[in-house]
Structure 1
Amino acid sequence: MHATTKGHIIQLDGIRFIAVALVLIDHFYSAVNIIPYGKLGVTIFFVLSGFLISRILLKSKETYEPQPEGFKKYIRKFLIRRTIRIFPIYYLLLIVLFILNVPPVREKFAWLALYGTNIYIAVYQTWLGSSDHLWSLAVEEQVYLFFPFLIFFVSRKNLIPWLAVMGAASVLLRFYFYFSGKDWSVSYVTMPACLDSFALGGLMAWLQLYKKEVFLKLFDKTWPVVLALIGWILMQYWNKSYDNIHNVVDVVIDRLVSSIFSFFLIGRAVTGYGGAMKYFLENPISVYLGRISYGIYLYHNFIYNHYHSGPNHPTVRLLHKIYRNIPSLEGSLTFEACLFSLLTIAVASLSWHFFEKPINSLKDRYA
């Protein structure tokens, strides 16, 4: 495992880059894309989040459980560190969007500010324009409301059965939503229907901390990752065999298969890929883009959204200006995707260096 002195696993930054790149490819090629790269990218983030949060909480529990008022210290540390990392950039963005009156932020500000985007989408079965993607951040925040309690108050031995029940219940809930005729978005965005991803991440953390030999047997080879990827590809062919795009495979099975692939992809990165994959995940560009992936994800839909960026949107106006000067580029989806990606990375970089990184340094006080 290639990690820093603070325990930061280097290759996981590369995994974050893969996840956010899949989202960008999906969203910036929306006009022609038929493969759900974005859904896979979000699932990778969910499994990775489940792993990292469970790992942090399990280690913190070991420290604070024996102490007087241990739970109070444990939960305080978790909440402060999560708040420092997640909230500042999120609420800064909402304030800027509110001031600029970017729809539908003013109209739905309470839902967005309270991390209820996914609840709004599920209840009203409608999306929120350029703010659509914030549903996944809402899911993560809702998981953080109960996960610390689960890990602290459930014994080490009983945690795995709890995670297994949680994951199985999540899949069954998606089956229920599908066969009861709910819109596909309900299964996609509701937090309980996403928990198989977080449960697998929690299982990975538990194995790494308490069953190291089992962890190494599972993740010290790359062939399970390849096999799981083949399974994901075969699932896409199965999905395409249905006339209805939001069929049982898409609505119920996809997240489970994607989570299993993510489980092996991430687990192998924890033990450390070799060869070309090691170079890809550890090269400075991948590591940097992975490090700023939260900002990339947060900002990208406002830089450009295929369905909601109208002719007066600054990026669209810039694009038309380029086309007037270089007509041969007009209609090139690759050029457009590269431009949108570069603009997103530029904004995320400014955000990281001048806002996020200085604030994140405060977390060291609660290490």
Structure 2
Amino acid sequence: MTAQQTTTRPVLNHLRQLDGIRFVAVGLVLFDHWMAGRVELPLGALGVTIFFVLSGFLITRILLSSKDKLSRQPNGGLGKYLSVFYIRRTLRIFPVYYLTLIVLFLINEPPVRRTFAWLALYATNLYMAYHTSWMGTVDHLWSLAVEEQVYLFFPLLLFFVPRRWVPLTAGLMIVGAVAMRYYLYANRYPWFIGYVTMPACLDSFGLGAIMAYWWLYQRDRFTAVFSSTIWIWVSIALLVVVAVSTKLLPAIPDVTGLPGHHNVMSDVWERLVSSLIGFFLIGHAVIGFGGLMKWLLENPVSQYMGRISYGLYLYHNFVFNVYHTQPTHFTVRAWRRITDVLPFLNSSYVFSFCFYLALTIVIATLSWYLIEKPINNLKDRYTV
């Protein structure tokens, strides 16, 4: 199948099961942040990594398709290519993000007041790396900062790199990210620097880029690689091996005294293996799962939660976080008032988990219908 044949297909059609993948990814993050200490698996990190691979796939698909279309237009060029991409990304991401920051600043959320400039510049991860510290209830915004930093250079890279070199470029991103994490580990830098810095995350985006390239230009290869679910199970088994090995191997003390059991398995290889899970999971979802997995990804609840996943991720840490939420926080006070009336709800953590989840869904739903969806609809005006 030739590249010309594949680029004439409706390659940017909505891929339904990817909304279900978003639901799975955000669910892993919420479960990890609200169940910390109860389940010792890197589920939150896996959820974030799946988002990174998905972003790599989607933005590469958009950018390469846009480049192909503009090459056939007399007024096509770098200016239009960049303007369409950045306008559409801005409409999707910025409004609700900055509105959230402003509201949190006005209600005096401590880390937002203290680090507002860093947050506004999408430099949360740089603050963490520079100050070798976490940031409380805004910790999770590091991943949004990573994505925005990728958006700064990746469109230019894909525009100037010849099409045939895209897989090689993506391969270099993968190797470079793993090498950077190993360098940081070998030189005993704080482990989270290799976790939150953008270059150390590029193996996830690189795998997503390879997937998009195959989908656009080598459909037969895409189908051959992703038709079977065996590689999903193999990559999950590898993650289990990494997680077990992390616990069995001696921990390397962090120079800053940060808690956690870390060594070469967790600091270097965990993200690559998690990226492979995302790679094979997303690739098979593009083709389409059948059976129980099809139901999981396509049922109305999963589809809806996937659509509002950005809001779920953005707001959940402000609703509750095991590590950072203070006893005086409004959601904790609200839960105490409910349990004063219905004390049996304190008999199990499941009840409080469901309360925080329901509250997060309500906030994300209001955000989707009142802010995100109306603004998101404007994107249709900006196409190539």
- TM-score where L is the length of structure 2: 0.93
Report the Cα offset of residue 324 of structure 1: 1.2
C-alpha distance in structure 1 between counterparts of 2:110 and 2:321, whole Å: 12
C-alpha distance in structure 2 between counterparts of 1:240 and 1:248, whole Å: 11
User: What 5-or-longer segments of structure 1 have no aligned partner?
Assistant: none
C-alpha distance in structure 2 between counterparts of 1:261 and 1:5, whole Å: 23
Change (3 A) 1:85 1:223: same
Report the Cα offset of residue 69 of structure 1: 4.9
Check conservation: 1:65, 1:71, Cα contact below 8 A.
no
Of 308, 315, 318, the residue aligned with 2:324 is 308
Of 114, 122, 143, the residue aligned with 2:121 is 114
Q: Secondary structure at the match of 2:111?
A: coil
**1:272-287 equivalent positions in 2, closer than 5 A:** 272-287=288-303
C-alpha distance in structure 2 between counterparts of 1:366 and 1:238, whole Å: 49
Matched letter for residue 222 of structure 1? T
Number of residue pairs matched by the alignment = 365
Report the Cα offset of residue 306 of structure 1: 1.5
Of 81, 94, 109, the residue aligned with 1:87 is 94
**Which residue is 1:20 aligned to?**
26
Check conservation: 1:29, 1:333, Cα contact below 8 A.
no
Check conservation: 2:17, 2:298, Cα contact below 8 A.
yes
Check conservation: 2:12, 2:62, Cα contact below 8 A.
no
**Which residue is 2:382 aligned to?**
366
Matched letter for residue 106 of structure 1? R
Report the Cα offset of residue 239 of structure 1: 1.4
Residue by residue, what CA displacement relative to the aligned partner does 1:217-252 show, whole Å, maximum 9, x if unpaired?
A: 001121221222122122211111124211111110
**Which residue is 1:36 aligned to?**
42
Report the Cα offset of residue 261 of structure 1: 1.0
C-alpha distance in structure 1 between counterparts of 2:353 and 2:151, whole Å: 33
Change (3 A) 1:5 1:60: closer
The answer to whether 1:294 aligns with 2:300 is no
Q: Secondary structure at the match of 1:133?
A: helix
Larger deviation, residues 201-210 vs 303-312: 303-312
Report the Cα offset of residue 33 of structure 1: 2.8
Report the Cα offset of residue 20 of structure 1: 0.1
User: What 5-or-longer segments of structure 2 have no aligned partner?
Assistant: 1-9, 252-260
Of 230, 240, 260, the residue aligned with 1:233 is 240
Of 48, 52, 59, the residue aligned with 1:53 is 59
Fraction of identical pairs, as percent: 53
**1:1-367 equivalent positions in 2, closer than 5 A:** 7-66=13-72, 67-244=74-251, 245-330=261-346, 332-367=348-383
Q: Secondary structure at the match of 1:233?
A: helix
Change (3 A) 1:12 1:26: same
C-alpha distance in structure 1 between counterparts of 2:263 and 2:71, whole Å: 46
Report the Cα offset of residue 329 of structure 1: 2.0
Report the Cα offset of residue 328 of structure 1: 2.0
Check conservation: 1:89, 1:355, Cα contact below 8 A.
yes
- TM-score where L is the length of structure 1: 0.97
Report the Cα offset of residue 5 of structure 1: 10
Report the Cα offset of residue 116 of structure 1: 0.3
Residue by residue, what CA displacement relative to the aligned partner does 1:280-326 show, whole Å, maximum 9, x if unpaired?
A: 10011000000100000000000011122112211100111122122
Matched letter for residue 41 of structure 2? I
Check conservation: 1:21, 1:41, Cα contact below 8 A.
yes
Q: Secondary structure at the match of 1:183?
A: coil
Q: Secondary structure at the match of 2:38?
A: coil
